[in-house]
Amino acid sequence: MRRILTTVITLGLVLSSGAAVAYAASDTPRRGTTTYEPITWGTCESTGLAARNAQCGLLSVPLDYAKPGGEQIELAVSRIRHTTKDADYQGVMLVNPGGPGGSGLDLSVLGEYVPKDAGDAYDWIGFDPRGVGSSEPSLGCDGGYLGYGRPPYVPTGSKIEKAWLGKAEGYASDCAQIAGDLLDHMRTTDTVQDLDSLRAALGAEQINFYGFSYGTYLGQVYATRYPQRVRRMVLDGNVDPRRVWYDANLDQDVAFDRTMKVYFAWIAQYDKVYHLGRSAKAVEKLFYKEQSRLLGHPADGEFGPDELTDVFLQAGYYVFGWESVAYAFSAWVNDRDPDPLRSLFESANPTDDGADNGYAVYLAVQCTDAPWPTSWKKWHADNSRIHSQAPFLTWGNAWYNAPCLTWPAAPGKRIKVSGTNAPPILLLSETLDAATPFSGSLEVRRRFPKSALIEGVGGTTHAGSLFGNACVDNSIAEYLASGKLPQRAKGNTADKRCDPLPKPDPTKPSAKRAGVATLSRLDLQRRIAGY
């Protein structure tokens, strides 16, 4: 699916619960009789990582694993080492924030957010996947592609439709010229092999893995390919492996429309704060009215209906930004002040060189993981049908993915995900997660028979673990400390139910109502575009 904000495994026997990892925290990597070049660790450029005494380095991997001696690319890697005694060491924990296209280099800090010091026994490993961020080469095709000046999302006539198709085809063509052979080696299966190369370079026989959003699919495929190399795995916001990726985006269109109705109801609940309507229907009607108004008269000549949808989409992912979006919309509706809306849009859509790195990688992975329909007639029919019942996101999402129509790299085959031989893993999801609908978590639970699923009942937040929900986060801590999972229930259901992350209350004195809230770097990294 689309973006929201700029940027947030194992050889040998599976260990029993509570057992220490049966290998040393060594920098001399070996797998069988083959010695792998270790990562040369040094200081990190990131001030946040440097302040935590993290180590950073580069890992060389083959561009094409079918030609291991051929062209090499480099993955940027960070490490924050365990602080427990070596006897209590539980191994390496690789983290992926999603996207695809999300930078995970800073996410070696994630261990400090695990309650009860349960993360202290792990070496936390952040990394930028191939093509992403500080890895080389870093993919980018047109930094201004997602900025102002786009055609309206809803194609009310053939002129708009042709404009978008031409724009999308141009982006795909730009990527072909800039990226070359890299585009043929950007599938999830390539990154899975990178994960295993990273495992070997770290000297680990097994990895632990924490994946958010698209990172859950990365974990699913790794566990399918290398079940004996998985020790523990936390997957938060689970991709449905049956729906990769064309169908998954259609599922999201319906799910986001539902979630926005929840958000409109929340705004109405605080009409005395925002003055945008006293009922969900009234707020929703106002949103579409202003969207139509901006179509004819963009604010400041450039902030139009597309940009308004993009700003509100942020609230479809997380409760954390609900106040900021409502405040910005209120400033526009009641005072005709577009600045807060513009600020939210521009923070998520920078247009400098390389600003489209996450988007370019997103397409490079999603367009080639599995086949997409090559007929625009089918795209048009499917999106027209869904738009009629779920108008909030459908066409914007279609155009976001439209470069896949002419993407200059051949798609692979959809992976048949199976966790039959995988160890016990922990699955997390809130019931109304729109980016990765809850049905996906139920499907992953079915395919991983030793897994357990924790549900944030009624919540709309996507991949929101380790954000202070004690019911969820303490279960994560228990699993990471001992391997213990909630008892598996019978039937197609969650195994443990928690309250979701709480909706904000803008009437509290501590609420940030006077402006657009500032997010920490970790929040931004976690709030990834799309999956």
List active site positions. 213, 433, 462
The residues near 165 (Cβ < 8 Å, ≥ 6 apart) are 376, 402, 405
Rounded (5°) CA angle 103-94-187:
60
| Cα–Cα dist 142/150, whole Å | 13
Rounded (5°) CA angle 325-327-331:
115
Mutual angle of helices 188-201 and 214-225, in 10-degree steps: 70
| Cα–Cα dist 14/404, whole Å | 39
Number of Cβ within a 10 Å radius of residue 88? 13
CA dihedral 483, 110, 364, 186 (to 10 degrees): -60
Spatial CA neighbour of 287 closest among 204, 203, 392: 392
Contact 323, 511 (CB under 8 A): yes
Structure tokens at 58: 């580069």
Residue 426: enclosing H or E segment and its boundaries?
strand 426-430
User: Identity (one letter) of the amino acid at 422?
Assistant: A
DSSP 185: G
Maximum Cα interatomic distance, the chain, rounded to a whole number of Å: 70
Query: Residue ranges of the alpha helices (H) in 436-526?
Result: 438-447, 470-482, 521-526
CA dihedral 45, 48, 54, 57 (to 10 degrees): -30
Spatial CA neighbour of 391 closest among 292, 484, 462, 461: 292
Q: Provide the β-strand partners of residue 236.
A: 212, 428
Structure tokens at 227: 């079940």
| Cα–Cα dist 183/189, whole Å | 13
DSSP 9: -
The answer to whether the Cα torsion of 32, 92, 476, 320 is positive or negative is negative
